[in-house]
Structure formats: C-alpha cells, structure tokens
Amino acid sequence: MWINKTLLRLLIILTLIGLGWFINDGFSEEVRNKSMNKEMIALIPVGSINKGLLTTLASSLEDIFRLPVSVDRSMQLPSDAYNPKRQQYHATTILNKVKGKTSSGKGRRLGIVDVDLYVPELNFVFGEADLLGKTAVISLSRLRQEFYGLPRDEDLFLKRTLKEAVHELGHTFGLRHCQNEKCVMHFSNSLRDTDIKQVTFCPICQKKIAIEMLNEP
C-alpha cells in the first residue's frame, strides 16, 4: 500500500514514542545512527578548565545524548564580558563568543567557564543557551561547595556540572523549562533545585527531544 512521506514519518515518530525509545533508556539504533551521521557536541573551554573534568563530562554526555562529544581547544575568557561593578561576567557576551568560534565539527557547542555569570535581570545564572541556535554556556563557579564556604565534595560537583550541561544542551534541542522538579529541564533558581532534579529528562521532555532529533535536517 502506498503511503506518502509525511504520513510515514509521523508513523515512525509515533512508533518510537510508543516503544519508549528515549534518552534515559537509550535511543534506537535508527535514531542514534541518524544523529551521529550529522551531529556532534563540542565542549569549548573558555579560560582555564580542568582537563580531567572535560574528559569525564564528555564521556557522560555521550552516554546521555548518544552523540559523539569532542573537547575543542580552549578560547580566552573575553575581557569585555566582565562587569567590575558586579564582579561577574555577562553570560550572553560569552555565549556569543562561543557561537562565533570555529569548531572542530558541525553540531552543538557548549562553552564551559569557571567564573561567576549573570544576566541583567538576575543575580546570577548557572548557564545560558541560545534557544534559536545550537550554542550554550555553563559556569562551574557556583556548583562547588567551596563557593559557599563548605568542604569540598568532588562527586557532588561533578553531578551538578553534568546536570547543568544536560539542561543547557536540552535548550539547544528546543526544550523549555519543565514544571517537573525532578526533570533535568526544571529551572534552577538555587543550587537546591539543581540537587533535587535528576540528570535525566522526564517522559514528556524525552518525547520532545526524540522528535526533535528525528526532525532535524
């Protein structure tokens, strides 16, 4: 029986949703192969970032998104992003610098900085993403226990870093903030919110991101 391409595509998407081929369970081979043939994620250190952290983060992101993740050469922290009055760096300025950097491959870019970030309407941000593009940036600064005068906890720091990386990359797939406080796409108004949520997407966000991956040209 003849089926037009639009209907066939819809049937494929509905089948994937029905079978639960989502991120936390792993994509189907069809989705994974299609994504790996056209996309990758590049981690771009902005300033001095620990190489071991970058390696660990890249491996974890590959497991979650089922996409190849590379670590690009570092770029300088832009001096024009610094606001001496606030003693913070403007997140959007750094985001735009990362967006303009020549990367080693096509796909999404995640800038990583170890300075405190802000946007004008908020006291601070853990990160920022371009919802219309494929670029995001996260800050490590406030994810450390030491920032709050508490004893160092490397495992907790790594968990927080991964959550914020997945969250901002989720925005580059078109995901908005989620009302489910356990979903990684839930907005972190404080570090407590980050610690409460999981590193995985809720079922609703899983469906959205799976469809987005299938529909990307």
Q: Is residue 1 part of a domain?
A: no
Annotation says 168 is catalytic: yes
Check whether 200 has a pLDDT greater than 50.
yes
Pairing of strands 108-113, 41-46: parallel
pLDDT at 107: 85
What's the rounded Cα separation, in Å, for the pair 163 and 19?
A: 26
The whole-number pLDDT of residue 202 equals 95
Higher pLDDT, 209 or 215: 209
pLDDT in tens, 22-81: 444 444 454 555 444 457 899 999 999 999 999 999 999 999 999 999 999 999 999 999
Banded model confidence at residue 104, pLDDT cuts 50, 70, 90? low
Residue 9: is its pLDDT beyond 60?
no
Residue 50 lies in a domain: yes
- Assess if residue 98 is contained within a domain: yes
* Residue numbers of the domain that contains 39: 28-161
pLDDT at site 29: 53
- The pLDDT, as a whole number, for residue 132 is 79
Catalytic residue among 168, 181, 212, 216: 168
Report which DSSP code applies to 139.
E
Where is average pLDDT lowest: 2-16, 143-157, 186-200? 2-16
Question: Is 26 in a helix, a strand, or coil?
Answer: coil
pLDDT of residue 101: 76
Q: Is residue 188 part of a domain?
A: no
Residue 10's CB is within 10 A of a number of other CB atoms, namely: 12
Chain centroid to Cα 163, Å, comes to 8
pLDDT at residue 21 greater than cutoff 70: no
pLDDT recorded at residue 82: 97
Give the max Cα distance, the chain.
Answer: 68
Tell me the mean pLDDT in the region 2-10: 43
Number of folded domains that form the chain: 1
32 falls within a domain: yes
Residue 183 covered by a domain: no
In a domain? residue 54: yes
Tens-place pLDDT, residues 128-182: 999 878 999 999 999 999 999 999 999 999 999 999 999 999 999 999 999 999 9
The whole-angstrom separation of Cα 198 and Cα 206 is 13
190 is a domain residue: no
Q: When comparing pLDDT for 107 and 14, which is higher?
A: 107
Rg (CA), the chain: 18
Neighbour-count burial for 139-172, b at 16+ CB within 10 Å, e otherwise = bbbbbbeeeeeeeeeeeebebbbbbbbbbbbbbb
CATH number where 84 lies: 3.40.390.10
